[in-house]
Amino acid sequence: MVYLDNSATTLPWQEVLDTYQQAASAYFGNPSSLHRPGVEAETLLGKAREAAASILKVKSSEVIFTSGGTEGNNLAIKGTAVEHQNRGKHLITSAVEHPSALEAFAQLEAFGYEVTYLPVNKEGRIRPEDVENAVREDTTLVSIIHVNNETGTIQPIEEIGKRLAAYPKLYFHTDHVQGAAHVPLDLGKANVDLCTISAHKFHGLKGTGMLYIKDGTVLSPLFHGGGQEQKIRAGTENVPGIAAMAKALRLAREQHTKEAKRMYELQKYLLQELEKIDGAQVNTPQTGAAPHIVNVSFPGLKPEVIIQALTKRDIHVSTKSACSSKLNEPSHVIEAAGLGQERADSAIRISFSFETIKEEIEKLIDVFHEIIPEMKKVMGA
Amino acid sequence: MKNIYADHAASAPVHHEAAKAMMEAMENNIGNPSSIHHYGRKARMQLDQARQQLADSIGAAVDEIILTSGGTEADNLALVGYAKAHKDQGSHIITTQIEHHAVLHTCERLENQGFDVTYIPVNQYGQVSLEAVQEAITDKTILVSVMHGNNEVGTIQPIEEIADIAQANNVAFHTDAVQSYGLMPIDMKQTPVTLMSVSSHKINGPKGIGFLYAKKGTKLMPFLTGGEQEKKRRAGTENVAAAAGFAKAVEMAVEQREERAGFYQQLSDYFLKCLESEGVRFELNGAKEERLPHITNIFIPNISLESFLVQLDLAGIAASSGSACTAGSVEPSHVLSAMFNDPNRSASSLRFSFGQGNSFEEVEQIAKEIRTIVHRMNSG
């Protein structure tokens, strides 16, 4: 099997599973309990927090554990907007965010907030000056995805962060879900106040994630209850899942150091080979894209049909983001990039893991050469 | 010295069968259930299977089960989600003074947002009166939320009757069943419950997962927005492996319900008997009859709670002062404060909660240790 849908989810690493299993049995206590099993669980939780914080080069008090990327984005966006609504109800984001951010903004609009959706160029990139120009007196939050989950386009987060430093009252959030393993962001340099991370995108487990909240950033919690996570996120902490996430993050960063060059080469190879396929139009920019994502359209062909044909040959890719792939809707990301309806309707996403090898990509290319001309004949495209 | 864990109401160890189901799912089932390829579909199938088991356990339909990250999220989604989706119908919510903080603090939050909340008091056994619920309902009331089994003292509320009252008044009814689920049967075909919260790690499933039952047709404003998961009621990639582990834990809890409930009841009864035969002066907190079998909360006059817990811990015994979620510090219990107008009562009460790993010998051991600590404290 050739699994090339790692932007949807990744296979948990064996070491990560081992960590989970050990923690689940040896540290089963509730970290809020005062007795020994509770204290031991709390100690492990603290160690995991320190480990994650040190990898992200932030303070451990700045790391809040969540149930994943969707919760991270929702907490960052709604939490900030709601907490600071007395200062203003204007928010800035882009047209190419993940649905978990876009839907959060849509909900806030329904509650009377005003949201500016910044446009992107053909490469799917926003211009830092556009961000600054959109800032108003009543703007409380700017939220920009770091690596786009459909096209892999990297947004100029550092440059935006630098410009936003001139507006100290404004909070800056980035959705780092796709970037965390393959394009690590220097949170300090990027001057972000909030940063969302999800573990199952880097071989951790589903149901775990983190939100970096810079010291001094105040936000309103989504879940109320016990005083966990500095009262920002109530609910018994998923200690074994969190320990496994810290492990996965460390391993992912090690793999990134070792494999990044090879992955960029692999991506370059795939992009070159796609050029040779009749009718293929690559949506991922040649430069300034994450190494693990390649998005390509076959105008006139139905992506579901291509995916099915690939599946028959045990190759697994996806249309756009898994979170919206059930809908036969065009990609909002490719539409926003102005690449046209046809391309937005026919986009396919190929996403690598650290373990993806050249032979797998060769196989994919071979299959494309085999099936695409056939399909075009049938469709008369 | 053998360690004794008597704090299952805070968190119960994962059953190895549940852990196995979870590990198998993680190793063999990697897809994102929303993906349309083979892996995605396989993950979807496993998720559907798990959801079916959860639904079956309470006589619900599969699309009435919303998977959440746990009990806290389920309580929050039930209250905030329901209140916000129905605010055009009224702004009044009824709950009790002895709810879990996931309900109480959420209600306080809703008060800040313009809702009126009535907190019904309880009697000295921690029981809510049906008349009080009935009387609190006004034409502005949209939701009644009363927990099933109390997490600190174990008192069971007459939720069937409260559900009937709510239904008769055309008001929705939510119950936090985190502590009772798996031990007290509930059938949604018989009881008109609108919303019910459940957590996995209290019934020997993994942490980080739970569900909210939402009766068909119940509108909720989602909390987490994004993908279309959970029929748009809860966005986020579904935690398939945890769902598989949770379902396994549920399967065992359902199969062994009477056996487990009976065993915990015997442990609790034996515990009280041992305390008596050890000559410990104590009073049981909570209802005498209508109570959860696994929770025993006792008042021991004149002890200092914090130091008592530390000494128990040194003796290898893990118990608690109340809910773990209020812990980190020992604050006076809001539940005992609602039951007794006596600060001493909550300053000198302890919760023991039993589970599958416990034995009669352990219970005896705990009672002996309590006597020893009481003597030491009184002579010191």
Domain shared by A282 and A201, yes or no: no
Domain shared by B112 and B246, yes or no: yes
**Residues A51 and A246: beta-carbon distance below 8 Å:** yes
Note whether B176 contacts A: Cβ–Cβ < 8 A. Answer: no
Q: Is the pLDDT of residue B246 over 90?
A: yes
Domain shared by A274 and A227, yes or no: no
pLDDT at B227: 87
B329 — pLDDT class (breaks 50, 70, 90): low
Q: The domain that contains A125 carries what CATH number?
A: 3.40.640.10
Domain shared by B236 and B134, yes or no: yes
- Identify which has the larger pLDDT, B2 or A119: A119
Which residues in chain A have their CB less than 8 angstroms from residue B102's CB? 223-226, 234-235
The CA-based angle A108-B220-A198, given to 5 degrees, is 60
Minimal Cβ distance to A235: which of B7, B70, B326: B70
Q: Which domain holds residue B223?
A: 16-255
Which residues in chain A have their CB less than 8 angstroms from residue B228's CB? 323-324, 326-327
Domain shared by B91 and B234, yes or no: yes
pLDDT at B323: 60
Nearest CA of chain A to the CA of B162: how many Å?
Answer: 24
Chain Cα centroid distance, residue B184: 12
Q: Is the pLDDT of residue A322 over 60?
A: no
B98-143: per-residue pLDDT in tens? 999 999 999 999 999 999 999 999 999 999 999 999 999 999 999 9
Q: Is the pLDDT of residue B337 over 80?
A: yes
**Count: domains in chain A:** 2
Contact A107 B225 (CB under 8 A): yes
B29 — pLDDT class (breaks 50, 70, 90): confident
Which residues in chain B have their CB less than 8 angstroms from residue A67's CB? 69, 73, 208, 236, 239
**A304-313, B122-131, B325-334 — which is least confidently predicted?**
B325-334
| Alpha carbons B45 and B33: distance in angstroms, whole number | 8
Best CA proximity match to B54, nearest among B162, B219, B197, B193: B197
Nearest CA of chain B to the CA of A301: how many Å?
Answer: 17
Which of B204, B239, B255 is at the close of a domain? B255
Q: What is the 3-state secondary structure (H, E, C) of B222-249?
A: CCCCCCCCHHHCCCCCCCHHHHHHHHHH
Domain shared by B118 and B232, yes or no: yes
CA closest to B78 among chain A residues: A223
Note whether B377 contacts A: Cβ–Cβ < 8 A. Answer: no
Q: What mean pLDDT comes out for the span A152-156? A: 98
Contact B102 A325 (CB under 8 A): no
Q: The domain that contains B102 carries what CATH number?
A: 3.40.640.10
Domain shared by B239 and B272, yes or no: no
Which residues in chain B have their CB less than 8 angstroms from residue A205's CB? 26, 239, 241-242
Q: How confident is the prediction for chain A on average, in pLDDT?
A: 95
Q: Is the pLDDT of residue B331 over 90?
A: no
**Residues B268 and A101: beta-carbon distance below 8 Å:** no
B169-212: per-residue pLDDT in tens? 999 999 999 999 999 999 999 999 999 999 999 999 999 999 99
| Alpha carbons B12 and B216: distance in angstroms, whole number | 31
Q: The domain that contains B262 carries what CATH number?
A: 3.90.1150.10
Domain shared by A147 and A105, yes or no: yes
Contact B325 A21 (CB under 8 A): no
Which residues in chain A have their CB less than 8 angstroms from residue B326's CB? 32, 226-227
Tell me, yes or no, if A323 is annotated catalytic.
Answer: yes
Q: What mean pLDDT comes out for the span A311-336? A: 79
Q: Is the pLDDT of residue B327 over 50?
A: no
> Best mutation site among A1, A3, A6, A9 for testing chain B: the one with the most B CBs within 10 Å?
A9
Which residues in chain B have their CB less than 8 angstroms from residue A98's CB? 226
A7-24: per-residue pLDDT in tens? 999 999 999 999 999 999
Domain shared by A105 and A84, yes or no: yes
Contact A236 B73 (CB under 8 A): no
Domain shared by A193 and A138, yes or no: yes
Say which of A323, A365, A375, A381 is annotated catalytic. A323
Which of B233, B255, B277 is at the close of a domain? B255
State the Rg of chain B over Cα.
21
Domain shared by A240 and A272, yes or no: no
CA B128 vs CA A35, B1, B186, B287, B290: distances in Å? 31, 42, 19, 11, 12
Nearest CA of chain B to the CA of A166: how many Å?
Answer: 31
CA B58 vs CA A377, B64, B201, B212: distances in Å? 54, 11, 18, 12
Nearest CA of chain A to the CA of B42: how many Å?
Answer: 13
Contact A8 B34 (CB under 8 A): yes
Two tokens, residue A107: 């909900």
Domain shared by A220 and A293, yes or no: no
CA closest to B330 among chain A residues: A34
Q: What mean pLDDT comes out for the span A113-139? A: 97
Nearest CA of chain A to the CA of B24: how many Å?
Answer: 10
A40-70: per-residue pLDDT in tens? 999 999 999 999 999 999 999 999 999 999 9
pLDDT at B282: 97
Domain shared by A97 and A227, yes or no: yes
Q: What mean pLDDT comes out for the span A118-135? A: 97
**Count: domains in chain B:** 2
Minimal Cβ distance to A322: which of B32, B70, B318: B32
Two tokens, residue B310: 């530390």
Which residues in chain A have their CB less than 8 angstroms from residue B73's CB? 67, 223, 235
Domain shared by B227 and B244, yes or no: yes
Contact B31 A241 (CB under 8 A): no
Domain shared by B50 and B167, yes or no: yes
CA closest to A239 among chain B residues: B207
Q: Give residues 215 to 234 of B whose Cβ lies within 8 Å of A.
A: 221-229
Which of B200, B220, B255 is at the close of a domain? B255
**Residues B358 and B267: beta-carbon distance below 8 Å:** yes
Contact B206 A24 (CB under 8 A): yes
B282-325: per-residue pLDDT in tens? 999 999 999 999 999 999 999 988 889 999 999 999 999 876 55
Q: Which domain holds residue A212?
A: 14-250
Domain shared by B46 and B177, yes or no: yes
Minimal Cβ distance to A71: which of B27, B32, B236: B236
Note whether B109 contacts A: Cβ–Cβ < 8 A. Answer: yes
- Identify which has the larger pLDDT, B86 or A329: B86
pLDDT at A376: 87
Note whether B88 contacts A: Cβ–Cβ < 8 A. Answer: no
Domain shared by B361 and B287, yes or no: yes
Residue B209's φ and ψ, nearest 5 degrees, are -150, 150
Asked if the ipTM is above 0.95, the reply is no
> Best mutation site among B35, B312, B317, B330 for testing chain A: the one with the most A CBs within 10 Å?
B35
Provide the whole-model pTM. Answer: 0.91
Domain shared by B138 and B266, yes or no: no
Q: What mean pLDDT comes out for the span A355-368? A: 97
Domain shared by A153 and A209, yes or no: yes
Q: Give residues 328 to 347 of B whose Cβ lies within 8 Å of A.
A: 328, 330
User: How far from each other are the two terminal CA atoms of chain B, in whole angstroms?
Assistant: 24
pLDDT at B1: 62
Q: How confident is the prediction for chain B on average, in pLDDT?
A: 94
Domain shared by B238 and B308, yes or no: no
Nearest CA of chain B to the CA of A239: how many Å?
Answer: 8
Minimal Cβ distance to B225: which of A3, A74, A321: A74
B152-178: per-residue pLDDT in tens? 999 999 999 999 999 999 999 999 999
